Amino acid sequence: MPAWLCNLGAWLTHDAAGLFTFFLFLVGVGQAALFVWQLRLIRKSLGPAEEAARAATVNAQAMIDNERPWIGVDTVYTEKLEPGPVIQQAFVRIKNTGKTPALRMRVAFKGSVLPKGTPPRAPDITSEPPKPLFPDTMDFYYPFGDLVLSHADFQEIVAGSRVAWIVGRIEYFDGSKRPHKTQVCCRWDRSRGVFIPHEQGNDAD
């Protein structure tokens, strides 16, 4: 038997204070081991709990999104483009495809004929009166107003040096008072003879 072990045994059997101190040391080691073991168990249990909490959050958000209003463009329509007032018949039809009403909705659409390369500006909606839009309900807007398309502008549109635009902005709130918006930007396509979405300026949330 090693000498140090013999000395330890002699010390423990002849010194009561030493025996008690050694006993306290063993208790401390046991408590430390128990604490480490409990900590490992807690860490293992936290993983599934965190996953469950994340899944619950995702499901709750999905339910909110599923019940909210969604306002978007249903149709952008016009007769065959030609000189004169026919462009006034162009209209934008929007629709709430969500399951709840859109509240305090403000909408503005603006039509313009601009030189090629000149981007249109989104209309200001601050002066537009707020109103609700209920699910599966459509709303109509005539962006060109009383514009009369001149023969010169028409020829430049045909030649591609000018572009006819329809831009719009929709802002509204859902039942939880969260704001949402829809931005629309369409240009006249000469080859197809219709307004089509532009590569930029279309967004929704």
Confidence (pLDDT) at 80 = 82
Distance CA 95, CA 111 (A): 20
Of 43-57, 71-85, 174-188, least confident by mean pLDDT is: 43-57
For residue 55, give its domain range.
Answer: 3-66
Instruction: Find, among 135, 183, 144, the residue nearest to 164 by Cα.
Output: 144
Could you say which DSSP state residue 84 is in? Answer: B
Question: Mean pLDDT score of the chain, rounded to an integer?
Answer: 84
Q: Between these two residues, 146 and 28, which has the higher pLDDT value?
A: 146
* pLDDT above 70: residue 104: yes
Confidence (pLDDT) at 38 = 77
Task: Say if residue 104 is in the same domain as residue 11.
Answer: no
Looking at residues 123-147, what average pLDDT do you find? Answer: 95
Looking at residues 74-101, what average pLDDT do you find? Answer: 92
Residue type, 107: V
Could you say which DSSP state residue 123 is in? Answer: P
Task: Say if residue 135 is in the same domain as residue 80.
Answer: yes
202 burial (CB, 10 Å; 0-12 / 13-18 / 19+) is middle
Confidence of residue 180 (pLDDT cuts 50, 70, 90): very high
Decide which of 37, 66, 95 is a domain's last residue: 66
* pLDDT above 90: residue 1: no
Distance CA 133, CA 135 (A): 7
Task: Say if residue 38 is in the same domain as residue 132.
Answer: no
Task: Say if residue 56 is in the same domain as residue 10.
Answer: yes
Task: Say if residue 155 is in the same domain as residue 193.
Answer: yes
pTM: 0.69
Confidence (pLDDT) at 7 = 57
For residues 192 and 78, is the Cβ–Cβ distance under 8 A? no
Confidence of residue 55 (pLDDT cuts 50, 70, 90): low
* pLDDT above 90: residue 153: yes
Residue 39: strand pairing partners: none
Structure tokens at 205: 């949330």
Looking at residues 77-87, what average pLDDT do you find? Answer: 89
Share of the chain above pLDDT 70, in %: 77
Can you give the CATH number for the domain in which 152 is found? Answer: 2.60.40
Across the chain, the runs of DSSP E, i.e. the strands, are 71-77, 91-96, 102-115, 131-133, 138-141, 162-173, 179-189, 194-197, 203-204
Q: What is the CA radius of gyration of the chain?
A: 36
Distance CA 172, CA 128 (A): 12
* pLDDT above 90: residue 28: no
For 192, phi and psi rounded to 5 degrees?
Answer: -95, -20
